[in-house]
Amino acid sequence: MLGLMQTQPLLISGLLTFAECHHSDAEIISRRVEGDIHRYAYADLARRARRLANLLQNWGTEPGDRIGTLAWNGYRHMELYYAGGGSGRVTHTINPRLIPDQIAWIINHAEDQALFFDLTFLPIVQLIHDKCPTVKHWVVMIDADRMPADTGIPGLENYEELLAAQSGDYEWPELDENTACGMCYTSGTTGRPKGVLYSNRSSVLHAYGISLPDVINISSRDSILPVVPMFHVNAWGVPYAAALTGTRVVFPGPALDGKSVYELIESEGITCAAGVPTVWQMLLNHMDANKLKFSTLNRTVIGGAACPPAMIDAFEERYDVRVLHAWGMTETSPVGTLSTLKNKHLELDPEAQKKILLKQGRAVFGVDMKIVGGDGKELPHDGRTAGSLMVKGPWVIEDYFRSGDPSPLVDGWFPTGDIATIDEDGYMQITDRTKDVIKSGGEWISSIDLENIAVAHPEVAEAACIGVKHPKWDERPILVAVKKPGSDLTREELLAFYQDKVAKWQIPDDVIFVDEIPHGATGKLLKIKLRDLLKDYRLPTT
Ligand code: AMP
């Protein structure tokens, strides 16, 4: 027997109309490419999104068509999120940090019909515009009087002029909630990038999920700063969750350095921020060097890569900011787990609490997870046994967009490629990634642990740990490290730093100092490239 309740579909346009009706005056603030700070409210967002939806329709784009963006975090990008997804099109956010050939490949694979871009990315568009035959409109998102001249791009259009010419009357269609609304290609550190296609339903459910108190806990009393890019898994869903909760949003635009981020946090009274560890490291360096304090920030979501213990110490002890360590993937919308204490942990001493908070955390309702061994059998949740992490749920991927490969699911579960433990309380902890795993004599060694120890050394700026072939142990870890300026740290001193921090057999066999470690487009260490650079390396024989 079916329930007798209404079945309104969960739609992106529903988030926008709710925001327009219930918190129309909540602000959306953006640092712009133009250099100034722009302010408007959800009512303005809704008004302009309707004009934009009319534009997409009047251009003759069809429901289901992909609309590309190459843009920083800002209000125009948010308008594209809602106009694209709300009208049944697919807003396809593209990572501008990829190389131009890869960007063109992604646009062609997605068959984008239009491309909206910030002026910053004009040089990329100049290189690729004649290689992307499906794109019929190239649109610069800049004030009309700042349009660049002589770009060499035929028919280049201006966002503000296009919007001004459209009617503000538009009725959002009542779509099937499984209709696609957004798209993001994975970072592409291995092989060709793969497209993840979000639905209205998955995005709305994810927005509900991440707003919960044990997750990001955002509300109409917060001001949130998503430093995590809108081109990287929808800025972790913040633009949707903010509309759902009436949260004041502040977008950092192109200025992501420590000083700019700090100034925005202070000038806009930010209470909650979200970003990857690299960004927070830049912020902390700036604050440490200038002896600064936060006056309003009370929590920060750190994810995308493991949060080093030293970073939790800095935020919590020096700056009184709670760290919310989160794990997720492009394929999981992205939030899967987040670490907050349970009631029974509140009496623990700070060190014991920190141990828990350093884990990637508990699953959000909507994400089921398990760990399995090499034989596919489920492993115990004892906090010690590590296995391949598998997830499933209504905001987890079912298949990649036109990949030509079979669905990645195994018995309905998505294999994350991460290796993790899960403890009795349900806290998941990543110990490594399948592609990076170092297996020595049949035992796992966590490259993440070894990297964390290295960067905790006061003279190490950055470190990456990779496995190299060994005749007896199969693989052994070596550490590639960048010294801080002026340091004369030696290999022996750094190896000695590992004594008593890990088991003897886990200590790296060698240290190679380099000037720079290669990074992928999303700032992650590019271990494949590193392995390639070190392919002629031989382990020391003594
Ligand atoms: P992406 O799809 O580019 O967001 O990358 C997802 C991958 O980043 C995950 O599968 C993990 O390997 C890694 N990752 C994300 N969050 C964390 C975290 N908190 N700790 C460790 N690794 C993480």
Q: Over the stretch 71-114, which tens digit does the pLDDT of each residue have?
A: 999 999 999 999 999 999 999 999 888 778 889 999 999 999 99
| Ligand 1 center from residue 414 Cα (angstroms) | 14
CA separation for the pair 420, 290 (Å, rounded): 38
Q: Identify the helix (H) or strand (E) that includes residue 468.
A: strand 460-470
Q: Ligand 1: residues within 6 Å at CB? A: 186-187, 233, 303-306, 325-330, 334, 360, 416-418, 430, 433, 522
CA separation for the pair 395, 9 (Å, rounded): 15
Task: Give the DSSP letter of residue 379.
Answer: P
Q: What is the CATH number of the domain that holds 477?
A: 3.30.300.30
Residue nearest to atom 9 of ligand 1 (CA): 329
In a domain? residue 351: yes
In a domain? residue 346: yes
In a domain? residue 5: no
Q: Are residues 418 and 441 in the same domain?
A: no
> Which pLDDT does position 26 carry in this prediction?
98
Q: Are residues 199 and 337 in the same domain?
A: yes
> Which pLDDT does position 191 carry in this prediction?
52
Q: Are residues 354 and 414 in the same domain?
A: yes
Q: What is the CATH number of the domain that holds 95?
A: 3.40.50.12780
Q: Please give the single-letter amino acid code of residue 166.
A: Q
Q: Of 521, 456, 542, whose CA–CA distance to 494 is shortest? A: 456
* Average pLDDT for 420-438: 86
| Ligand 1 center from residue 278 Cα (angstroms) | 13
Pocket test for ligand 1, best of 311, 359, 418, 419 (most atoms within 8 A of CB): 418
Q: How far is CA 358 from CA 209, 287, 318, 371, in A?
A: 21, 22, 17, 19
Q: Are residues 293 and 352 in the same domain?
A: yes
Q: Are residues 260 and 384 in the same domain?
A: yes
Q: Are residues 300 and 387 in the same domain?
A: yes
* Average pLDDT for 303-316: 89
Q: Are residues 133 and 220 in the same domain?
A: yes
Task: Give the DSSP letter of residue 395.
Answer: T
CA separation for the pair 16, 12 (Å, rounded): 7
| Ligand 1 center from residue 525 Cα (angstroms) | 12
> Which pLDDT does position 449 carry in this prediction?
80
Q: Are residues 488 and 372 in the same domain?
A: no
> Which pLDDT does position 531 carry in this prediction?
82
93 has catalytic annotation: no
Higher pLDDT, 417 or 434: 417
Q: Ligand 1 atom closest to Cα of 306?
A: 20
Model confidence band, residue 475 (pLDDT cutoffs 50, 70, 90): confident
Write down which residue in 400, 422, 444 finishes a domain.
422
331 has catalytic annotation: yes
Q: Ligand 1 atom closest to Cα of 326?
A: 19
Q: Are residues 281 and 215 in the same domain?
A: yes
In a domain? residue 7: no
- Residue-wise pLDDT for 273-296, tens only, equals 999 887 898 899 999 999 999 999
In a domain? residue 163: yes
Q: How many domains does the structure of the chain reveal?
A: 2
Phi and psi angles of residue 479, each rounded to the nearest 5 degrees, phi first: -115, 130
Write down which residue in 370, 396, 422 finishes a domain.
422
> Which pLDDT does position 190 carry in this prediction?
45
Q: 150: left (phi > 0), else alpha (psi -120 to 50), else beta?
A: left
> Which pLDDT does position 189 carry in this prediction?
38
CA separation for the pair 67, 70 (Å, rounded): 10
327 has catalytic annotation: no
Q: Please give the single-letter amino acid code of residue 350.
A: P
Alpha helices in 129-276 (DSSP H): 159-164, 200-211, 233-236, 238-245, 258-267
Containing domain of residue 464, as a range?
436-533
Q: Are residues 255 and 164 in the same domain?
A: yes
E strands, 71-206, in order:
90-93, 114-118, 137-141, 157-158, 180-185, 195-199
* Average pLDDT for 173-185: 97
Model confidence band, residue 187 (pLDDT cutoffs 50, 70, 90): low
Q: Are residues 399 and 467 in the same domain?
A: no
Q: Are residues 198 and 232 in the same domain?
A: yes
| Ligand 1 center from residue 304 Cα (angstroms) | 4
355 has catalytic annotation: no
In a domain? residue 463: yes
Write down which residue in 387, 422, 457 finishes a domain.
422
> Which pLDDT does position 166 carry in this prediction?
98
Please give the share of the chain, as a percent, with pLDDT higher than 70: 97
E strands, 193-352, in order:
195-199, 223-226, 248-251, 272-275, 299-302, 322-328, 335-338
In a domain? residue 4: no
| Ligand 1 center from residue 327 Cα (angstroms) | 6
- Residue-wise pLDDT for 198-251, tens only, equals 999 999 999 999 999 999 999 999 999 999 999 989 999 999 999 999 999 999
CA separation for the pair 166, 164 (Å, rounded): 6
Q: Ligand 1 atom closest to Cα of 303?
A: 19
pLDDT surpasses 90 at 135: yes
Cβ(159)–Cβ(131) below 8 Å = no
In a domain? residue 175: yes
